[in-house]
Amino acid sequence: MTYLRPKFRHPELPKNNLGYSVDYYEGSLSTLCAGCGHDSISAGIIQAAYELDIEPHRLAKLSGIGCSSKTPAYFLSNSHGFNSVHGRMPSVATGANMANRDLIYLGVSGDGDSASIGMGQFVHVIRRNLNMVYIVMNNGCYGLTKGQDSATADSGSKNKSGHVNLFQSIDLASLAIELGATFVAQSFSGDKSQLVPLIKAAMNHPGFAFINVISPCVTFNNNPGSTKSYDFVREHMEATSTFDFVPEMAEITTSYSEGSQKSVKLHDGTFLQFHKIAQDWDPEDRISAINAVQNAKLKNEILTGLLYINPEPVDLHEMINTSLRPLNSLTKEDLCPGSEVLKSINKDWR
Amino acid sequence: MSLNQVKINDFVIRFANVNGTGSASANYLFCKSIFRMGVPVTPKNIFPSNIQGLPTWYEVRVSEKGYLGRREGIDIMVCVNPQSMLKDVGNVRTGGYFLYDSSKPLHSNYIRDDIHYIGIPLMEMCNEAFTDPRQRQLFKNIIYVGALAALLEIDFKVFESLLAEQFAGKEKLIAPNIKALQMGVDYIHEHYSDPIDIRVEQRDLVGDSIMIDGNTACGLGAVYGGATVAAWYPITPSTSVIESFMNFSDEYRIDPETGKRNVAIIQAEDELAAIGMVIGANWNGARSFTATSGPGLSLMNEFLGLAYFAEIPTVLIDVQRTGPSTGMPTRTQQSDTLEAAYASHGDTKHILLFPSTPKECFEMTADAFDLTEQLQTPVIVMTDLDLGMNDHMSKPFQWDDHRQYKRGKVLDAEALEGIERFGRYLDVDGDGIPYRTYPGTHPTKGSYFTRGTSRDEYAVYTESGDAYVRNMDRLMKKWNTAKSYVPGPHLYQEVNLSTYGILFFGTSEYSTEEAIDILKAEGVQLDAIRIKSFPFNDTVEEFIHSHDKVFVVEQNRDAQMKSLLMIELSINPEKLVSVLNYDGLPITADQIVNSIKSGLSFSDLK
């Protein structure tokens, strides 16, 4: 949607700890359709970055191709962005992360970009536990090419033109858990109160953090019979729990009754505090997470919230033992063995 | 055995082995012994796409004159592979020698009356002398090396020192190797007391040369060039580029204080991911590269177009093999020239470097990182299987410690402070090369959106035809700027001596130089030029314009370099005469000479 956004902002907008108000985290005007779920997710990203006091220039945003992959232009305009090629964002993010481990990497993809053309890269970036946030804006269709079914469209789901999808859908969240992703969540673009804490927790996670966000396509897949419409998702959402960040460990004062609450200690000493926990689900237990997702499916429900977290992940840099100094900051003095070494190498080859 | 004119330091020997039987190290030992005798030598490994069981050949050319190209005509065939024996017997030149395992009698089919037979009961001798089955297998190879030492009069002390070096730290392996060598020597002395008419004599012709393969050199060049991120997918014949980079990184990229690695090497899920990682790392300010071969280059096309259009440094080492498709994966060719030059859809052109020697592999790989960052566009190093996987005699590598990495036009936080509005694709200096910033540099200035879609000078998306054309024209201006950055050709003469020229590149160098000498001896003078890079600079154009005909030597069917010259320099096709070889084996001087002789009326040339 193209419209003019007034430049005026209320001078007394609240500021975060860095002294920035939320507008500092905005991007250029969205060109997506009015009411597109993706714009709500962009708003969620803006809110999360603002609340987490992130310096925008210390975050890099990357994407592939598609409606979802356009969104990095619409948030965090002071961050470097990279709109790469279709399905290949994970590899570009991997290279970028290897070059500089000190930035936050936010990858945005879609269901076509991740579940079809980019499936190979999606699964392999999970295997490597790259330290990044990976958000799939999942609408079950190819919006930019006018609504063809994607690989996440549910079998039997009907699109705007009345076409019924015949094929099994790919469940990206289950797949991510199965592949060993260390943070897996599912949410809905229409539920900001759930989405923003999830994005914050994902950004705080020092490993691969995946959020599959159902994000209805208002133009091609928001009709009766679609399982990715606003109405359908609202009616069929079931949450694992709600949760808060607890920044300081000492501050946990709430008593919690067995089975309904749980706190998970994170790598940096902070906590995730869960409330209203679903039955037979433990956020640190992969099996319970997979069971919970599958059981919800049987009941025709979409399970949302945090599905699984490993609070102490070992990321790719740690696995391959790279320098704590960003590789892109190393100089010739750090990297080049010099002429004397070369002389001795030559000698070995005589 | 009759003694003809003795050929000293001038012969070709071919070893016919079974893949996976440990012959490679024995054959290398033989080759290195001649190098240590101070005589120029060039080995070629002709191997199957297989791990164990298929025929494999190792060919060594010994040339007092220093010719390092492959030569046809086998003077000595060492055959320990029954599978290929019939063909191997047939390949020996008249008057040549056939050395074989005589543990079993030779079938009458293998008997020719115009060659000499030297039978050694290798299997029998091994079974008698060694009990371990693996040793029985391995030492057959060492025994024939010993036999060759005796026949060719190679100094035994050379082997002793080579084995001592090879097994430093595993000294108990030296004695059985010496024993096996001595068994070969003794057998010849006892059974073949007449000398053969081929001999090796000590010389001082190799100077301070080294023996190394191009892939190892590329890996080392990447270390010296400051690469910190390598992403790759295994593919013959490029794999050893990365293996070399890994090995040298293990040695030279470990922080002595922390034990942590100043390098990230990622084995990707495919070539698409490999080049994507390289682009991501370069975008973020690390020097990064990948190595691949033809099929991988095909897969990388889309990303190369992105790197070209979004102006992201990228270094790719293409170790070419025989295409198309899977082709002959273990044979050489120069058949990716056009594919690499114009990789990806849309109007694209890529910088190519053509190394001819391991030394150039080292230098051009290191230089590629400077060039790609200075020009903000992909640089592809076009080596091939022959250069990459065979050992070559090469001048020693050199490094100037005063050399600084040329990181190109990158703005830091301080520079950004002084700029009103940063324009990622603004041609500030008029050379077509814009300024870039690394992510994370400045809180409010210098961020931009990198994309493969069209954009204006400030990296803002646009569908304006004018802005698109401005950008494409600037990229063309940058391309022309590149001509003064890339290495110029090697011109063999200061002034033209002939109306005929010969143009070549990469691994055609050795054989073309030899062919020029052969033709010269026959009274035909050719002016020569070796291309080292694309885009072609003005010297290449002048060379072609100043000759009536130019022979273009290349190792592919379709005369791809000729096409590139025609397209880029608007050369009349009639003027360029192709000299082609595309059978998968390195081109020879004889092929070049014969092709030139048949291509034109030979008397015209004189």
Tokens of B376: 């903000």
Average per-residue pLDDT for chain B: 96
In B19-54, where do the E strands start and end? 41-46
State the pLDDT at residue B127.
95
Tokens of A111: 């269901």
User: pTM here?
Assistant: 0.96
When pLDDT is averaged across residues A297-314 and rounded to a whole number, the result is 94
| Percent of chain B at pLDDT exceeding 70 | 98
CA distance B30 to B144: 10
State the pLDDT at residue B365.
98
Say if residue A215 is in the same domain as residue A233. yes
CA distance B586 to B214: 15
Q: Which structural domain range is residue A313 located in? A: 22-240+278-320
Are the beta carbons of B228 and A335 separated by less than 8 Å? yes
Identify the helix (H) or strand (E) that includes residue B80.
none
Which of B306, B398, B450 is facing A81, going by the closest CB pair?
B450
Q: Are B229 and A98 in contact (CB under 8 A)?
A: yes
Say if residue A121 is in the same domain as residue A147. yes
In this complex, how many residue pairs, one in chain A and one in chain B, have their CB atoms less than 8 Å apart? 225
Are the beta carbons of A332 and B265 separated by less than 8 Å? no
Strand partners, B348: none
pLDDT at A248 over 80: no
Tell me the CA end-to-end span of chain B in Å, nearest whole number: 42
Q: Are B307 and B280 in contact (CB under 8 A)?
A: no
3-state SS, B502-567, equals: EEEEHHHHHHHHHHHHHHHHCCCCCEEEEECEECCCHHHHHHHHCCCEEEEEECCCCCHHHHHHHH
CB crowding B322-345: b at 16 or more within 10 Å, else e: bbeeebbbbbbbbbbbbbbbbbbe
Q: Which residue of A has its CA nearest to B211?
A: A349
Residue B440 with chain A: CB contacts under 8 Å = 57-58, 60, 80, 100, 102-103
DSSP annotation of A125: H
State the pLDDT at residue B193.
85
Predicted complex ipTM exceeds 0.90: yes
Say if residue A59 is in the same domain as residue A178. yes
CA distance B42 to B66: 9
3-state helix, strand, coil in chain A (%, to 5): 35, 20, 45
In a domain, A117, yes or no: yes
**What are B267-325's pLDDT values in tens digits?**
999 999 999 999 999 999 999 999 999 999 999 999 999 999 999 999 999 999 999 99
Closest residue by Cα to residue B301 from B272, B332, B333, B334 = B272
Residue listed under structure tokens 């970055």: A49
DSSP annotation of A164: B
Tell me the CA end-to-end span of chain A in Å, nearest whole number: 69
In a domain, A249, yes or no: yes
Kindly write down the DSSP assignment for every residue of A176-227, as one continuous string: HHHTT-SEEEEEETT-HHHHHHHHHHHHH-SSEEEEEEE---TTTS-STT-T
Q: Which of A28, A71, A82, A179 to mutate to test the interface with B (most CBs of B within 10 A)?
A: A82
**What are A14-67's pLDDT values in tens digits?**
999 999 999 999 999 999 999 999 999 999 999 999 999 999 999 999 999 999
Number of Cβ within 10 Å of residue B313's Cβ equals: 30
Query: β-pairing, B351-353 with B288-292?
Result: unpaired
Conformational region of residue B475, where left means phi above 0, alpha means psi within -120 to 50, and beta covers everything else? alpha
Q: Are A123 and A179 in contact (CB under 8 A)?
A: yes
Say if residue A270 is in the same domain as residue A289. no
CA distance B523 to B517: 10
Closest residue by Cα to residue B571 from B582, B581, B559 = B559
Which of A97, A124, A332 is facing B273, going by the closest CB pair?
A124
Say if residue A207 is in the same domain as residue A109. yes
CA distance A112 to A119: 9
State the pLDDT at residue A254.
46
State the pLDDT at residue A10.
81
CA distance B114 to B94: 5
Q: Are B227 and B204 in contact (CB under 8 A)?
A: no
In a domain, A269, yes or no: yes
In a domain, A346, yes or no: no
> What are the C-alpha distances in Å from B385 to residues B74, B216, B299, B372, B391?
22, 12, 19, 24, 11
The sign of the torsion formed by the CA atoms of B17, B22, B26, B31 equals: positive
**What are A137-153's pLDDT values in tens digits?**
999 999 999 999 999 99
Are the beta carbons of A88 and B284 separated by less than 8 Å? no
CA distance B561 to B508: 12
Residue listed under structure tokens 């392999």: A124
Burial environment of residue A254 by CB neighbours within 10 A (0 to 12, 13 to 18, 19 or more): exposed
State the pLDDT at residue A253.
45
Say if residue A177 is in the same domain as residue A270. no
Say if residue A209 is in the same domain as residue A248. no
Say if residue A154 is in the same domain as residue A54. yes
In a domain, A326, yes or no: no
Peptide bond into B535 cis (omega under 30): yes
**What are B332-380's pLDDT values in tens digits?**
999 999 999 999 999 999 999 999 999 999 999 999 999 999 999 999 9
Domains of chain B: 7-199 (3.40.920.10), 212-394 (3.40.50.970), 409-487 (no CATH), 490-605 (3.40.50.920)
Q: Are A217 and A157 in contact (CB under 8 A)?
A: no
When pLDDT is averaged across residues B235-254 and rounded to a whole number, the result is 98
Q: Are B336 and B388 in contact (CB under 8 A)?
A: no
DSSP annotation of B180: H
Q: How far is A93 from chain B (nearest CA, A)?
A: 6
Query: β-pairing, B10-18 with B55-63?
Result: antiparallel
Closest residue by Cα to residue A209 from A63, A85, A108, A326 = A108
CATH code, A199: 3.40.50.970
Q: Which of B32, B253, B277 to mutate to test the interface with A (most CBs of A within 10 A)?
A: B277
Residue A2: pLDDT band (50, 70, 90) is: very low
Closest residue by Cα to residue B222 from B283, B275, B276, B265 = B265
When pLDDT is averaged across residues A164-189 and rounded to a whole number, the result is 96
When pLDDT is averaged across residues B468-476 and rounded to a whole number, the result is 98
Three-point CA angle B227, B228, B231, nearest 5°:
90
Q: Are A95 and B281 in contact (CB under 8 A)?
A: yes
Closest residue by Cα to residue B480 from B527, B523, B534 = B534
H-only helix segments in chain A: 37-51, 67-70, 89-99, 111-115, 119-127, 172-178, 192-204, 230-236, 286-298, 316-320, 332-335, 338-348
Q: Is residue B198 helix, strand or coil? A: strand
In a domain, A177, yes or no: yes
**Overall domain count for chain A:** 2
Query: β-pairing, B74-79 with B92-101?
Result: parallel
State the pLDDT at residue A154.
95
pLDDT at A256 over 70: no
In a domain, A157, yes or no: yes
Say if residue A215 is in the same domain as residue A169. yes
Three-point CA angle A225, A226, A232, nearest 5°:
90
Say if residue A175 is in the same domain as residue A90. yes
When pLDDT is averaged across residues A211-227 and rounded to a whole number, the result is 96
Say if residue A256 is in the same domain as residue A107. no
Residue B442 with chain A: CB contacts under 8 Å = 57
State the pLDDT at residue B605.
60
Are the beta carbons of B449 and A57 separated by less than 8 Å? no
Are the beta carbons of A120 and B461 separated by less than 8 Å? no
Which of A55, A83, A339 is facing B450, going by the closest CB pair?
A83
CA distance A56 to A26: 10
Residue A251: pLDDT band (50, 70, 90) is: very low
When pLDDT is averaged across residues B192-211 and rounded to a whole number, the result is 95
State the pLDDT at residue A250.
46
Q: Which of B228, B248, B288, B461 to mutate to test the interface with A (most CBs of A within 10 A)?
A: B228
Rounded to the nearest 5°, which phi and psi values hold at B529?
A: -145, 135
The sign of the torsion formed by the CA atoms of B218, B220, B221, B223 equals: positive
State the pLDDT at residue B1.
46
- Amino acid identity of residue A71, one-letter, is T
The maximal CA–CA distance of chain B, rounded, in angstroms, is: 89
Strand partners, A132: A208
Identify the helix (H) or strand (E) that includes residue A304.
strand A302-309
Q: Which residue of A has its CA nearest to B212?
A: A349
The maximal CA–CA distance of chain A, rounded, in angstroms, is: 77
Closest residue by Cα to residue B581 from B320, B333, B355, B294 = B333
Helices (H) and strands (E) in chain B, counts: 20, 23
When pLDDT is averaged across residues B217-241 and rounded to a whole number, the result is 98
State the pLDDT at residue B604.
61
Are the beta carbons of A78 and B438 separated by less than 8 Å? no
**What are B75-103's pLDDT values in tens digits?**
999 999 999 999 999 999 999 999 999 99
In a domain, A17, yes or no: no
Are the beta carbons of A83 and B255 separated by less than 8 Å? no
Sequence-distant (6+) residues with CB within 8 A of B66 are B40, B205
Say if residue A153 is in the same domain as residue A266. no
Rg (CA), chain B: 27
How many Cα atoms sit within 13 Å of B166 on the Cβ side?
Answer: 18
Closest residue by Cα to residue B508 from B571, B582, B569, B598 = B582
Q: Are B233 and B42 in contact (CB under 8 A)?
A: no
